[in-house]
Amino acid sequence: MIKSYLSKLIFNRWAAFLHDLFWVPATLFLAFWFRFNLQEIPAEFLNGFYRLLPLSLLVHAVIFRLFSLYRGIWRYASLPDLIRIVKAVLLGGLIVNLFAFIFFRLQGIPRTVLLLSPLFLIIGLAGTRLCYRLLKDRKLRLNKQEGVRTLVVGAGQAAELLLRDLLHKPEFQPVALVDDDPHKHKRELHGVRVYGGLDRIEEVVLLYEIGLVLLAIPSADPATIKKLVGECSRIGVRCKTLPSLAELSGDTVQADQLRAVTLEDLLGRDAVELDYRAIANYLEGKAVLVTGAGGSIGSELCRQIAGQQPSRLIILDHGEFNIYTIDHELRSSFPDLKIATVLGDVKNPDRVDWLFKEFAPQVVFHAAAYKHVPMIELNPAEGVINNVTGSKVVADAAHLYRAETFVLVSTDKAVNPANVMGTTKRIAEIYCQNLAKRSQTRFITTRFGNVLGSAGSVVPLFEKQILAGGPLTVTHPDITRYFMTIPESVGLILQAGAMGRGGEIFVLDMGEPMLIRELAEEMIRLSGLVPGQDIEIIYTGLRPGEKLFEEIFHERENLQKTNHPKLFLASSREVDWQWLQEELAALHRSASSRDISALIEHLRQIVPEYQGDRLNP
């Protein structure tokens, strides 16, 4: 098969080469003929033609090969091919003219011929390629009756490039364009007409029996995308989009790049600008430990850290399958990276101590935590032991073995906590902040809200409920949450690690909070369904420990700007160190003995703003 393809390719290139050489004598004769007004060429000048012909053939044969005129495929002939032809012909004509003057003193060769011949040759070479492409495109269009009838939204550069590719894909049949620019209305791109603005989508879809709508505006804002998705959902037609400008690379736009509209598109989070040099300065060539490496945040930390060329990446998780999954991914994606995979629990001081002795991590990202609010309300002792004692064990080891940097991954639920999970994370913040004052290790805390698609978050739950046909369960019609993408939040965690000097709490800019009810509606529309019609949304009531809205900083934390627009700084809270140690020891004893009443009292002692209810063991 490969041999047959190569033979065909070589044959086609030789055929194209001979075709181009044919045009050299043809256009040369045509130039002489035009010089004499399409009359008989006098014998003297006919001899000049015969003298010039072999020279022109030889020179142009060499020039055509040097300029790679046979690199392009005729079916896709375009402006770069025309430019190559013009350059080759002009250079060839210049050389022929020079040699004709040197060898023949231009005897019997009219000066007009030297100008007309290159012009005719350009027309001949480019014209045949253009005609071939037009014939192929016409044949393809006549045969494209089986592909899905497609409406392209947008008539700019990206749409033109996409449309060019769609016309050569049998699975698509582009029949119409819409664009809000009135200057483009009633015009055509590659034979496809622009029928009006985005307000005519429903009319065009019904009129031309459209089966697929493609958004070809990479710079489209969330409002435009949301409007399009809502319209497509309402009229029952599938919708896809090109990647955003940040995702597109190079100048190519192809049908293969089309993807479903995602929740991230609707949220419209701006691309985060990171100082990669500063990040590399504290990660490159260092032994880096990530706890909770198998989780949503931990695994993305591993991916981004691996790209910074650490000397070794140590991944720790107590879940066997989770750590196996990220280990396999990292070894496949970064075959040259030294990876130490440790199956263990942050609550086990012996295991953590062994890890620090064995691998001496210089940078630690502590992402291991229990984070599901209702589950920790039902199991408060386990939440305390994991989130408080586990964090203390890892932080103490980082201090004891003189790690350079320790980054605690915290949550907005630590602010004015109404649940045990948020309170345990707030205690971890307080401990790291105060340990930083007594340690050579830089202890830095990062705090942010929900991440889209993380394990246990509302997004995967809604996806399962949609697949099951609904209903979608929302706790309260007015409940709101902050959302970020996982890569965005992890990038800012790494940036905070580069900026912190020790003891700070960096608060990530979460943008505007979103109503969970609206999130549910958008996810239903993204599935091509209509909220309230195809899938119902029901309200189940707030769960134990759940707040209507989350806060990203306490009013007394005096939030300040940093030199990064997406990171803010919350002031630290200093407490008596001896008192804190005694309270943490008492809290751990209460958790170990499952004395929930004492546990709740110690939580309130350490975090006075915690106002949770008494819980069951």
Task: Let me know if 430 is exposed, middle or buried by CB neighbors in 10 A (0-12, 13-18, 19+).
Answer: buried
> What's residue 6's pLDDT?
38
Task: Let me know if 551 is exposed, middle or buried by CB neighbors in 10 A (0-12, 13-18, 19+).
Answer: middle
> What's residue 617's pLDDT?
43
How far, in Å, CA of 575 to CA of 598, rounded? 21
Q: 147-261 — its CATH code? A: 3.40.50.720
Cβ atoms 381, 591 nearer than 8 A: yes
pLDDT one-digit tens code per residue, 266-296? 766 565 677 888 898 899 999 999 999 999 8
How far, in Å, CA of 521 to CA of 4, rounded? 54
> Could you say which of 392, 413, 547, 566 is catalytic?
413
> What's residue 245's pLDDT?
56
**Strand duo 238-241 + 259-260: pairing:** antiparallel
186 has catalytic annotation = no
Q: 276-606 — its CATH code? A: 3.40.50.720
Instruction: Enter the pTM of the model.
Output: 0.68
Cite the residue boundaries of each domain of the chain with CATH code 3.40.50.720: 147-261, 276-606
Cβ atoms 280, 308 nearer than 8 A: yes
How far, in Å, CA of 236 to CA of 202, rounded? 10
**Strands in 200-268 per DSSP E:** 212-215, 238-241, 259-260
> What's residue 141's pLDDT?
55
- Using DSSP's 3-state secondary structure scheme, residue 33 falls into helix
Phi then psi for residue 561, to 5 deg, are -75, 155
Which residues of the chain are modeled with pLDDT < 50? 1-11, 72-76, 614-617
**Strands in 437-536 per DSSP E:** 442-448, 450-451, 472-474, 480-481, 483-484, 505-508, 514-515
Q: Dihedral (C-alpha) 48, 125, 60, 72: value to the nearest 10 degrees? A: 180
> What's residue 512's pLDDT?
74
Written as one string, the DSSP assignment of 263-299 is HHHHHTPPPPP--HHHHHHHHTTSEEEEETTTSHHHH
How far, in Å, CA of 203 to CA of 195, rounded? 10
Phi then psi for residue 103, to 5 deg, are -85, -40
> What's residue 134's pLDDT?
67
470 Ramachandran zone, left/alpha/beta (phi>0; psi -120 to 50) = left
Peptide bond into 513 cis (omega under 30): no
